[in-house]
Amino acid sequence: MKKLLITLAATALALPVFAQATAPGRLAVIDVQRVLNTSVAGKAAQDKLKKMQEDKLARANKIQEDMKALDTEINTKKLSLSEDKLADLQKQLSDKQLALQRFGQDADKELGESRDKELLALEGKIKPVIDQIGKEMGLAAIFNKFESGLVYASDAIDITDAVIKRFNDATVAESGTQPAAQPAAAKKQ
C-alpha cells in the first residue's frame, strides 16, 4: 500500500513536468513598425494617409494665400477705402483666420481617425499571419519587439521577415496584384 501511494505521488508530481515539456517553450519577437513600413499593405496605407495629408496641406495653403492677398489689399488700400469697406475687409480676414484654425483642427482629427482606421484594418490582416507562423514554429509567445518592455532580443528569435513575406504573399493573393518590390530582408526568406 505504501509503495502504491509513493508511486501515485510520484506520478502526480511528474504530470505537471510532463505537461510543461509538451507545451511550446520558444519565444519570438516581431518588429511591428517594420512590418507596417515595409509590407505591401503597410506601404499602401502610408501612401493613402500621405496623400490625404498633402490634400489637407494644399487646402490650408490656399486659405493662407487668400488671407495674405486680403491682408495686402487692406494695407495698400486702407487710406483710399471707406471705413465700412475697410471694416468689411478686416472682418473677412478675421473670418478666414478662424476658418483656417477650424480647418486645421478638423484636418488633424480626420487624419488621426484615418490613421487609426488604417492601423486597425492592418492589424486585423496581420494578426492571423502572426498566429499562423507562431503555431507553425511551435512558439509559446510572440512579443512586439519595441513595445513590450523588451531590452534585448537575439536576431535568432526575430520573425519579422517571415511575417512580412507571408503578409505580402497574403496581400498579393487577396488583391490579385504583384507587389512593386519586396524588401531585401523579406527576399532572404
Q: Is residue 14 part of a domain?
A: no
Average of per-residue pLDDT across 32-58? 93
pLDDT of residue 157: 84
Q: Is residue 150 part of a domain?
A: yes
How far does Cα 129 stand from its chain's mean position? 16
Range of the domain at 131: 24-187
pLDDT of residue 184: 45
Residues 6+ apart with CB under 8 A from 31: 145, 146, 158, 160
Domain count, the chain: 1
How many beta carbons lie within 10 A of that of residue 186, not counting itself? 23
pLDDT of residue 111: 95
Using CA atoms, how far residue 164 sits from 20, 41, 42, 75, in Å, is 31, 10, 10, 58
Do the beta carbons of residue 163 and residue 148 sit within 8 Å? Answer: no
Q: Is residue 96 part of a domain?
A: yes
Q: Over pLDDT 70: what percentage of the chain?
A: 79
pLDDT of residue 177: 62
pLDDT digits (tens, 9 = 90+) for 149-173: 776 777 788 898 999 999 999 888 8
DSSP state of 140: E
